Amino acid sequence: MKLRALIRRQPTAIFSLCVVVTLLVLAVLGSRAAPYDPLAVDLRQKLQAPSAAHPFGTDDMGRDVLSRVIVGTRLSVQTILVIMLSSVALGLLVGTIAGYFGSYMDEGLMRVTDIFLAFPGLILALAIVAALGPSLLNAMLAISLVWWPWYARMVRGQVLSVKENQYVEAARSIGARHARVMLRHILPNCMMPVIVQASMDMGAVLVTTAGLSFIGLGAQAPTPEWGAMIGIGRRYLLDAWWISTFPGLAIFITVMGLNLLGDALQDVLWSRTK
């Protein structure tokens, strides 16, 4: 599908593309794009309302909120990428092996997957972080362990369908090894739904990570993480609304852009499949 046709059919794709490009640029620039040091404490400037000097105001320690939101973008992008790559990779591995070999291998791996799926995802993540200790690294590990079973189930279903095709049987008949058959002939034909689902899950991963930081189980102060910033600002919500509002708007815009990107990506891939 040409870009012009995509824009006519999916006008929101432009918005999502702008959001993603902005996230990537801010993630690359990091603190170089921030007007102030995001960790510098200046109690004389604490709880300052938005102004020309501080467009997003200052927090309870006198730190510039705009600078902390900008630097927090890099942290959010890194968190999303690490969680999605690890959970998708584990889900691909488990789902491909289970679907391809079947029998006892399939039964055993799927029962392990069912154990993780039996618990509500957020509750399980909370339990894991509580056991390991509050930190952003432990929160990322917990969310990855919660997220991979969905991809394992999805990939297993795709593999069960694809492995019955004639080209897979032909590859086996000429003596191709199992690893080659899976990597060369099966997995490439199972990736479309995985890519679409991953693009839609990125926003949910961001919200979950921010939620853990909000309640004190994720990023710890003074790390400029959006969820942790909202958690700090809730104590001053009536008098200093800007501390929580601007990080919350950053999460809202990012999640909306990522979800719209997933919709546009699904439309493109589905059109090519047809």
Q: What is the pTM of this model?
A: 0.87
Residue 64 phi/psi, 5° resolution? -70, 120
CATH of the domain at 146: 1.10.3720.10
* 50, part of any domain: no
Tell whether 51 is covered by a domain. Answer: no
Number of independent structural domains in the chain:
1
Is residue 149 within 8 A of residue 91, CB to CB? The reply is yes
Q: Measured between alpha carbons, how far is residue 108 from residues 53, 111, 135, 144, 260 in Å?
A: 60, 5, 32, 21, 37
Q: Give the ranges where 55-181 is alpha helix by DSSP (H).
A: 65-101, 103-117, 121-132, 136-162, 166-173, 178-180
Distance CA 163, CA 158 (A): 9
209: confidence class by pLDDT, cuts 50, 70, 90: very high
Alpha carbons 50 and 258: distance in angstroms, whole number: 28
**Domain assignment of residue 248, given as a range:** 58-273
Question: Hey, what are 267's tokens?
Answer: 């439309």
DSSP 2-54: -HHHHHHH-THHHHHHHHHHHHHHHHHHGGGG-SS-TT---GGGTTPPS-SS-
At 252-271, the pLDDT tens digits run 999 998 888 877 777 766 66
Q: For residues 219 and 162, what is the distance between their CA atoms, to the nearest angstrom?
A: 42
Residue 188 is classified by DSSP as: G
* pLDDT at res. 72: 92
Reported as a single tens digit per residue, the pLDDT across 118-151 is 888 888 899 999 899 899 999 999 999 999 999 9
pLDDT digits (tens, 9 = 90+) for 229-247: 999 998 888 888 999 999 9
Q: Is the pLDDT of residue 78 over 60?
A: yes
